[in-house]
Amino acid sequence: MNELSRYIERLLLAHDCVVVPQFGGFVTMATHATREETEGLFFPPIRVVRFNPDLMEDDGWLLADVREQRRCSESEAKRHIQHMVLNLRQQLLADGQADFGSIGLFTQDEDGRVSFSPCQAGVITPAYFGLDAFAMPKLTAAQRSGKNRAAQQQALEEKQEGNSTHITIRISRRGLKNALAAAAIIVLCALFSSPVDDASQSNQATLLPSSPTVEATQTKPAAPTPAVKPAPAATAEKAPVAEAAPAATTPAATAEPAPAAKPAPAAKPAAQAPTAKYCIVLASDVSLKNANNYVKVLQDRGFADARVYNNGKMNRVVLGNFQTENEAYNMNAKLHRTSSEYASTWVLAL
């Protein structure tokens, strides 16, 4: 990574434009949140860096930062800036490209024209750190109609429940008075009916004369009759039961069955190679040339599985082949801790 890129990255966090004397200016431009229709992905807002080679006039930001960091005079800071610009031009001339850290990538063609490809990770956007792309597919017509029907059915059920809980019963005052009078009569009858009956029965008992013949007459108990014992029943002797002769065993009955042949084990199906389901996106919506250049840079850094992924609409620079979402997110977290260049990488489901 070029030394000049560290100064530019730090200055772009606080300024919208930073000019490198005798080289060009870096200008930031804020973009709103976007939605990718084909995959149903929402991307957060970021600040995109543009390079303008026509901006040559020094604005003083880079010179002041170099003086502060190196603690040197103004003339020494200017000589150091010239030295960094010269090293950048020599690298472009020798290699045809120069990695500018988390800001982007410079490339130079055979005619000497310099082009700049910004990094889509949005590293210079601290206000949006932590925001990641997320998927939210559109509802189909059948799903929308089904939700509408469910909402209408729920509203109808709530309306019916509301009507069933409130029941109004109208009773006239005259009917209520009659019912209360009838209930009072029934209660009084129940209270006074039992004592009256008992008193009348006791009065009748005292008024009736007792009969002397009945009291004098005593009934003698009848003589008990002797119990007749039943005659003992004759015990019948049990006849001896003849034991059955054991059945003759034939050789055919005693012969053991022959063991059945074991079936041959079924052949196991050949294991199929698992296909990748997730990858990590490092850059989106870039030209094929810039994507290939960035892939080459990543492979030189040791990411052998870096590649260009095209879904039919845009080119992306992706990394890794993961079977589970958990593996992809663990690798993405490691990338975030590795360098600030990968601070805004995100996981894509293939």
DSSP conformation letters of 297-339: HHHHTT-TTEEEEE-SS-EEEEEEEESSHHHHHHHHHHHHHH-
pLDDT at residue 166 in the model? 54
Residue range 9-60, pLDDT digits in tens: 888 888 889 999 888 998 887 777 877 777 777 777 777 788 988 888 888 8
Q: What share of the chain is helix, strand, coil (3-state, %, to 5)?
A: 40, 20, 40
**In which band, very low, low, confident or very high, does the pLDDT at 255 lie, cut at 50, 70 and 90?**
very low
- For residue 302, is it within any domain? yes
Q: 237 or 261: whose pLDDT is higher?
A: 261
Q: At what angle do helices 61-70 and 74-95 cross, to 10 degrees?
A: 110
Please give the structure tokens belonging to residue 235.
Answer: 């015990």
pLDDT reading at 245 higher than 70: no
Using the 3D structure, point to which of 108, 126, 144 is the last residue of a domain: 126
Q: What is the DSSP string of 45-108?
A: -EEEEEEETT--S--SHHHHHHHHHHT--HHHHHHHHHHHHHHHHHHHHHHSEEE-TTSEEEEE
Q: What is the DSSP string of 146-194?
A: HHHHHHHHHHHHHHHHHHHH-------HHHHHHHHHHHHHHHHHHHHHH
**Rounded distance between C-alpha atoms, residue 350 and residue 341, angstroms:** 23
pLDDT at residue 207 in the model? 40
Residue range 178-229, pLDDT digits in tens: 888 898 889 888 887 755 445 444 444 444 444 444 343 444 444 454 444 4
**Rounded distance between C-alpha atoms, residue 282 and residue 316, angstroms:** 7
With contact defined as beta carbons under 8 Å apart, do 11 and 108 qualify?
no
pLDDT reading at 240 higher than 60: no
pLDDT reading at 173 higher than 80: no
- For residue 173, is it within any domain? no
Using the 3D structure, point to which of 66, 91, 126 is the last residue of a domain: 126
pLDDT at residue 262 in the model? 54
pLDDT at residue 270 in the model? 43
**In which band, very low, low, confident or very high, does the pLDDT at 279 lie, cut at 50, 70 and 90?**
very high
With contact defined as beta carbons under 8 Å apart, do 119 and 341 qualify?
yes
- For residue 253, is it within any domain? no
**In which band, very low, low, confident or very high, does the pLDDT at 79 lie, cut at 50, 70 and 90?**
very high
Q: Which domain holds residue 30?
A: 1-126
pLDDT reading at 72 higher than 60: yes
pLDDT at residue 208 in the model? 43
Written as one letter, the residue type at 305 is D
Using the 3D structure, point to which of 87, 102, 126 is the last residue of a domain: 126
User: What is the arithmetic mean of pLDDT over 99-110?
Assistant: 85
Percent of the chain with pLDDT over 90: 15
**Rounded distance between C-alpha atoms, residue 300 and residue 313, angstroms:** 27
- For residue 287, is it within any domain? yes
**In which band, very low, low, confident or very high, does the pLDDT at 292 lie, cut at 50, 70 and 90?**
very high
- For residue 153, is it within any domain? no
Percent of the chain with pLDDT over 70: 69
**Rounded distance between C-alpha atoms, residue 23 and residue 87, angstroms:** 12
- Mark 204-238 as b/e (b = at least 16 C-beta within 10 Å): eeeeeeeeeeeeeeeeeeeeeeeeeeeeeeeeeee
- For residue 65, is it within any domain? yes
pLDDT reading at 73 higher than 60: yes
pLDDT at residue 14 in the model? 85
With contact defined as beta carbons under 8 Å apart, do 327 and 113 qualify?
no
**In which band, very low, low, confident or very high, does the pLDDT at 171 lie, cut at 50, 70 and 90?**
confident
Q: In the chain, how many domains are there?
A: 2
Q: Give the CATH number of the domain where residue 306 resides.
A: 3.30.70.1070
- For residue 340, is it within any domain? yes
Q: At what angle do helices 3-12 and 74-95 cross, to 10 degrees?
A: 110
- For residue 348, is it within any domain? yes
User: What is the arithmetic mean of pLDDT over 232-259?
Assistant: 42
**Rounded distance between C-alpha atoms, residue 267 and residue 124, angstroms:** 58
